[in-house]
Amino acid sequence: MEEIIPYLQSFYTKEAIEKIVKELKVYYEKLPKVPLQLFSKNWYKDSNLYLVYPDSIKTDHEVPLKSLRSHLTHVKELGCNAVHILPFLASPMRDKGYDVSDYYKIREGLGKKEDLKELKNEADRLGIHLFMDLIFNHVSIDHEWFVKAQKGDVYYRDFFIHSQETPQYLGKVEKEDGLYAQYMVNGEKTLVSLAFPEGPGQLPHWTQGKDGFWYYHTFYSHQIDVNWKNPEVFIAYAKILLYWTSFGFHFRFDAIPFIGKAAYKHLNTHNPFTHHLTEVLNVLAKQVNPNCIFILEVNEELRSDIEYFGTSNIHQARMLYNFQLSAYLWATLIDKNADHLWKQLKKDREIPAHAQWINFLRNHDELSLAVLPKVLQAKVYKKLLPNGKPFSEGFDLGGRTYSLLGGDEKHFLMSYFLLSSLPGGLLIPYGDDYGMENIKISELSLDERADARNINRGKLTNKIIKSKKGQHIFYQMSQILIMRQLLRNYLNIWPVKIIDEKGIFGAKYSLGTSELVIFINLTKHTKSINFELGSFVEITSLNLINVFSNKIKLGPYSGAWLQK
């Protein structure tokens, strides 16, 4: 445990560090250790990541974790080598499990820990890596820590960011990239981003407890932010991390830029405390599981995001979700203009050698277009809105990929062909593998309708899986993803643009004397490309019309991978 001391010295006292190390040593000795695995230590760079809620697979099993275990065979057949399981810890479920009430218990109704272990064993057998969500920024108001704080326990009150004085709230402010709350802090006006402007609460970022104190929350008022400046909080969360690391999980950290911050956190600002925390958590996890990989959720400006990879000498994380590229992918798909995508790809390449982006079209949350230029953002939003549902007072959208693309199967499959043609890792949310559509508003409860993200949730059923449409899409998607895995050596190199026509994405990957050339028609019109085939061979294609010796004829929403 002495390895963590240098990371703690800048923000905890000598006495606090001694206590941290002493307590964690005792806890660490009691835990089983995960042996170093023989698989490539850089496997994550070749990741096709499947995203799933623990109870979203509806099969013949009554226990959700057993259904998920059975579904791993489909995940393997799809061509994915990793699964990110969304929150499965105890929770009152006001925010799909992101409001944790007990970090050591599995949520009631999902199954037992034995079911979780069987799920992990099956994943190991299939060569699938499992990620679990760790929510370390906040807890549910039902968590024991907050309940005790409300009863006047000063020890637990200090687990949270709190104030005895009523915060001075001045009102909402709308900017190009979203809504903000304005406060008067130490005689100066300050703006704080509103994650959920529709969320209820006495003040946007503060709620008054039964004990009379005001408690800070970045997100909903029932999710109270913890105070990482308190070393007792560090000890509590370090134990939680070590406990779940001993199960052999990798981790996705929710809302990492807010962990360790003080109240009124400004976006896109460097917070050394947060960065040191992620470094030390990484070191801690590897004490129990040397194979452990971190994914961090960061959605700020690109320069701020990249800082969370760390450096070549000191790693914070190996993978980040690429929110910027997601927005520019949608701009490319809707505006039929590959230039949008190339603009972002050029920026994304400046990352450390150990790092890898995870690219995606949709995840479990809302679709955010905030990084796009205002005119382009408005254009894309206007075209997507009829097939989605507004979120964050009109700045973001809820909706599944298939529905947002108007239920056009060719357009949908082309979008994944394009995503699979990009450097980096790839994420696919459950249901997209079968062309799952938005849940109808009428099928949601009144409470569920208040959150636009609920239309892109729901159950993946046998009916959807076995449908003619579902089977066809699964087959097409698996062919794309499996071929992507076979061509991974190319996709770990940055591509070069080889065609100037906006309606076609044309890229070349060079690997020594070998080359992979990709052409994708972003439009619904047939396109012809002059290309000397020479020693190139067609590896795979989608909706392709024909390949001649000196010309490629691309059908609507089609694509081809050619290898030299």
DSSP letter string over 170-197?
EEEEEETTEEEEEEEETTEEEEEE-S-T
Q: Identify the band that residue 165 occupies on the pLDDT scale cut at 50, 70 and 90.
A: very high
Indicate the helix (H) or strand (E) that contains 244.
helix 231-245
pLDDT of the residue at 279: 95
Which pLDDT score is estimated for 199?
Answer: 67
pLDDT at res. 110: 97
Q: How many residues does the chain have?
A: 564
pLDDT of residue 115: 97
Longest dimension (CA), the chain: 79
- What is the distance of C-alpha 138 from the center of its chain? 18
pLDDT of residue 266: 86
Grade residue 251 by pLDDT with cuts at 50, 70 and 90: very high
Distance of CA 315 to the CA centre of its chain: 19
Q: What is the pLDDT of residues 195-246, one digit of tens each?
A: 888 766 678 999 999 999 999 999 999 999 999 999 999 999 999 999 999 9
Mean pLDDT to the nearest integer, 165-181: 91
Q: 410 and 557 in contact (C-beta within 8 Å)?
A: yes
Q: What does the alpha-carbon distance between residue 198 and residue 143 come to, in Å, rounded to a whole number? A: 24
Type of residue at 519: F
The one-character DSSP state at 160 is B
* Across 55-83, average pLDDT: 93
* Strand pairing category for 178-185 and 168-175: antiparallel
Q: Name the more confident of 313 and 228.
A: 228
Residues 518 and 422: their CA atoms lie apart, in Å, by 10
Mean pLDDT computed over 287-298: 95
Q: 445-482 pLDDT, tens per residue?
A: 988 898 999 999 999 999 999 999 999 999 999 999 99
Q: For the chain, what percent of residues have pLDDT higher than 70?
A: 99
pLDDT tens digits for 41-64?
789 999 999 999 999 998 777 899
Spatial neighbors of 229 by CB under 8 A, at least 6 apart, are 11, 260, 262, 273
Residue 40, pLDDT above cutoff 80: no
**Phi, then psi, of 130 in degrees rounded to 5:** -110, 130
Q: Provide the pLDDT for residue 490.
A: 95
Q: Is the pLDDT of residue 537 over 80?
A: yes
What pLDDT is recorded for position 547?
82
How confident is the model at residue 544, as a pLDDT? Answer: 87
Tell me the pLDDT of the chain averaged across its residues.
Answer: 94
| For residues 169-175, average pLDDT | 91
The tokens for 545 are 């019309």
What one-character-per-residue DSSP string does 63-124 give?
SHHHHHHHHHHHHHHHT--EEEEPP-EE---SSTT-S-SEEEEEPTTS--HHHHHHHHHHHH
- What's the pLDDT band for 267 if we cut at 50, 70, 90? confident
Between CA 285 and CA 251 the distance in angstroms is 10
From the list 439, 305, 419, the residue with the least C-alpha distance to 362 is: 419
The yes-or-no verdict on residue 38 having pLDDT over 80 is no
Q: What is the 3-state secondary structure (H, E, C) of 294-352?
A: EEECCCCCHHHHHHCCECCCCECCCEEECHHHHHHHHHHHHHCCHHHHHHHHHHHCCCC
Helix, strand counts (H, E) of the chain: 18, 29
Distance CA 377, CA 372 (A): 5
In angstroms, rounded to a whole number, what is the distance separating the alpha carbons of residues 401 and 404?
Answer: 5
pTM for this model (two decimals): 0.96
